[in-house]
Structure 1
Amino acid sequence: MPARPVTSPIEPGPFGLADLFVLDPLRASPLAWVALIICAAYLTGAISLWRRGRRWSPVRALSFALGCALWFGATGLGVNAQAETLVSALLFQQITLMVVAPPLLLMGSPGRLLLRAVPHRGIGRPILRGAIGGARSSFARMLLHPAAAIVIAALAFPALYFTDAVSAILAIPGGHGVLLALFLLLGIIAAAPLWSLDPLPRAPSYGARLADVVIEIQIHAVFGLVMLLSTAPLFRAYADDPAGWGIPRPLDQAIAGGLAWSYGELPLLIVLIVTLSKWRRSEMRSARHREAEEDAELERYNAQLAARNRSDPRRIS
Structure 2
Amino acid sequence: MNLTQYAAARTLELTDLFTVDASRIPPLGWLALGCLVAYLAGAASLWVRGRRWSVLGTISFVLGSLAWFAATGLAVNAYAGDLITALIFQVITMLVAAPPLLLMGSPGKLLLRATPHRGLGIPILRAAIAAQRSRAARILLHPIVAILVAVIALPGLFFTDAISWIMAVPGGHQTLLALLLVFGVIGGAPLWALDPLPRKPSFGVRLAGAFLELQVHALFGLVLLRSASGLLSWYSEEPEGWAVSRALDQSLSGSLVWTYGQLPLIIVLIVTLSKWRRSDMRGARHRQRAEDEALDEYNAYLARAAEHTVAGANRKDHA
Query: TM-score when scaled to structure 1?
Result: 0.93
- Per the alignment, residue 33 of structure 1 pairs with 30
- Structure 1 residue aligned with 2:67, among 65, 70, 90? 70
- Per the alignment, residue 3 of structure 1 pairs with none
- Native 8 Å contact 1:15 1:245 kept in 2: no
- Per the alignment, residue 131 of structure 1 pairs with 128
Of Structure 1 and Structure 2, which has the larger fraction of its residues in helix? 2
For residues 252 and 61 of structure 2, the distance between their equivalents in structure 1, rounded to whole angstroms, comes to 29
- Per the alignment, residue 211 of structure 1 pairs with 208
- Native 8 Å contact 2:150 2:209 kept in 1: no
4+ aligned runs moved over 2 Å, structure 1: 12-15, 24-29
Per-residue CA deviations over 1:265-291 (Å, capped at 9, x if unaligned) read 101111110110010011011111111
- Structure 2 residue aligned with 1:17, among 14, 25, 47? 14
Per-residue CA deviations over 1:234-270 (Å, capped at 9, x if unaligned) read 1111001111111111211111111111101101111
Shift of 1:134: 0.4
- Per the alignment, residue 157 of structure 1 pairs with 154
Query: TM-score when scaled to structure 2?
Result: 0.92
Shift of 1:309: 1.1
SS at 1:192 equivalent? helix
Q: AA paired with 2:69? A: F
- Per the alignment, residue 87 of structure 1 pairs with 84
Shift of 1:302: 1.3
Per-residue CA deviations over 1:200-259 (Å, capped at 9, x if unaligned) read 111111111111110110110111111110111111110011111111112111111111
SS at 1:218 equivalent? helix
Shift of 1:55: 1.4
For residues 79 and 102 of structure 1, the distance between their equivalents in structure 2, rounded to whole angstroms, comes to 19
Instruction: Kindly report which structure 2 residues correspond to 1:84-233, keeping only aligned pairs within 5 A, or say none.
Output: 84-233=81-230
Per-residue CA deviations over 1:19-70 (Å, capped at 9, x if unaligned) read 1111133333210000111111111111111111111122211211111111
The structure-2 alpha-carbon separation of the partners of 1:14 and 1:275, relative to structure 1 and needing over 3 Å to count, comes to closer
For residues 14 and 292 of structure 1, the distance between their equivalents in structure 2, rounded to whole angstroms, comes to 62
Q: AA paired with 1:237? A: W
For residues 256 and 51 of structure 1, the distance between their equivalents in structure 2, rounded to whole angstroms, comes to 45
- Per the alignment, residue 301 of structure 2 pairs with 304
For residues 257 and 194 of structure 2, the distance between their equivalents in structure 1, rounded to whole angstroms, comes to 26
Is structure 2 residue 251 aligned with structure 1 residue 254?
yes
Determine what percentage of the aligned residue pairs are the same residue: 58
> 1 or 2 for the larger relative contact order (CA 8 Å, sep ≥6)?
1
- Native 8 Å contact 1:14 1:245 kept in 2: no
SS at 2:170 equivalent? coil
Shift of 1:187: 0.7
Show structure 1 runs of 5+ residues with no match.
1-11
- Per the alignment, residue 242 of structure 2 pairs with 245
The structure-2 alpha-carbon separation of the partners of 1:122 and 1:260, relative to structure 1 and needing over 3 Å to count, comes to same
- Give the alignment's Cα RMSD to 1 decimal: 1.6
